[in-house]
Amino acid sequence: MNLIDQVATIYKEKFGHVPAHIARAPGRVNLLGEHVDYNDGFVLPAAIDLATYVAFSPTNVPHSTLVAVDFDQQTSFSTETISIRTQVDSSPLLEWALYPAGVMWSLMEENLPVLSMNAVFASEVPRGSGLSSSASVEMAFIIAWQTLGDWTLPSMKRALLGQKAENKYVGVNCGIMDQFASACGVENKLLLLDCRSLEWKTVPLPENLSIVIADTTVRRKLTSGEYNKRRAACEDAVSLLKKDLPGIQSLRDVNVRDFNRLAKKLPREIEKRARHVVEEIERSDQVDALLEAGDIQSFGKLMNECHISLSDLYEVSCPELNKMVKIAQSLDGCYGARLTGAGFGGCTVNLVNKKNVEAFVQALTKGYESETGLRPSIYITRASNGAELIQ
């Protein structure tokens, strides 16, 4: 049974009638521009064909009841209990419930009507894998509340409200990339976003290429704490660099030449973090021209450089990711390979010639398994549309 039928069936069993609607919101993969969204840089994600599905209907009771199939748990909360982060029985919100609850909170902050619903949801996006399962849950629930409330927000606005939920309610200081990709995805296209102006456009992926996502299956704990620390280091770098470059607002405003000149004034750890960002913004600034010219070799090289930088300077990789990337880069038809998303475990993204894909998947599986003893999950992904009501 596919996941759409599954959430609909469980909904019917649980609530005794078929759900009025089903919403879908995808995860994302990012090809270039990592850890630069919160530094006003450029990112190149795509929405993927793994998604979260929510079956839902309005209800007359004053609280929403949500069933999370993947956790085999349910929660009930209302607009009253949201601000004190509890369920209706006064117990604390369960961790997975912070995402839909956070979304409800940020919609309420906008004074949008948020009606009570009964909902059942499940996701194909593996959790903690760097493919933005949490953004997909947020975007699916915004679509659900939008449908019930009979108001409409532009997709970028939905993304911003999801980010606000994550920053202010869940407590992860993430940038806009994940919610943007999940909200604004376009079938068969990469999305090039300027995280400062929020202007974006689609970029076609050359026909002969496949995006292969490979999950190390390694999950790190305490990721959000490390993530917030990286962001804080970038902010510290900006305050320190301001002494010499008073006009800068973010690391986007610092070019590599100026950075090299001033780097020695920064504490070593802050210098490393900021160097990754400044150089990665310069790399991602080349994306448009390279893809326009069909220069996949050079683009792939930038992906490989990005991985080294994430590993050595930003220190968000791990031994398993490094092994997987190294194996992939040695295989025929692989233009570029690197970790994708926040890091600390999770997935790699690989740009592979279509004619080599099957052999690539086999060799990567075998090589990774023999080096680590872990069996990877590998997806040949298709860029998909963003969050939408499907029924």
Q: Which residues bind ligand GLA (CB under 6 A)?
A: 34-35, 37-38, 132, 174-175, 177-178, 341-342
Q: Coil, helix or strand for 142?
A: helix
CB of 147 to ligand GLA, least distance (A): 25
Q: Which is nearer to ligand GLA, 116 or 136 (CB)?
A: 136
Structure token digits, residue 201: 């456009």
Q: Which is nearer to ligand GLA, 124 or 178 (CB)?
A: 178
DSSP 93: P
CB of 37 to ligand GLA, least distance (A): 5
Q: Which is nearer to ligand GLA, 37 or 253 (CB)?
A: 37
b/e per residue, 311-342, with b = 16+ CB within 10 A?
A: bebbbbbbebbbbbbebbbebebbbbbbbbbb
Helices (H), the chain: 3-15, 79-82, 98-109, 133-149, 155-164, 177-184, 223-241, 256-262, 268-284, 287-292, 296-312, 319-329, 357-372
CB of 171 to ligand GLA, least distance (A): 13
CB of 194 to ligand GLA, least distance (A): 15
CA distances from 257 to 108, 267, 279, 302, 320 (A): 45, 18, 10, 19, 33
Beta-bridge mates of residue 213: 349, 379
- Which is the catalytic residue, given 5, 37, 49, 178? 178
CA distances from 277 to 33, 198, 231, 249, 258 (A): 9, 18, 10, 14, 13
SS3 percent helix, strand, coil of the chain, rounded to 5, is 45, 25, 30
Q: Which is nearer to ligand GLA, 21 or 283 (CB)?
A: 283
CA 38 to centroid of chain Cα atoms: 13
CB of 178 to ligand GLA, least distance (A): 4
DSSP 254: -
Please indicate whether residue 236 is annotated as part of the active site. no
- Active-site residue list: 178
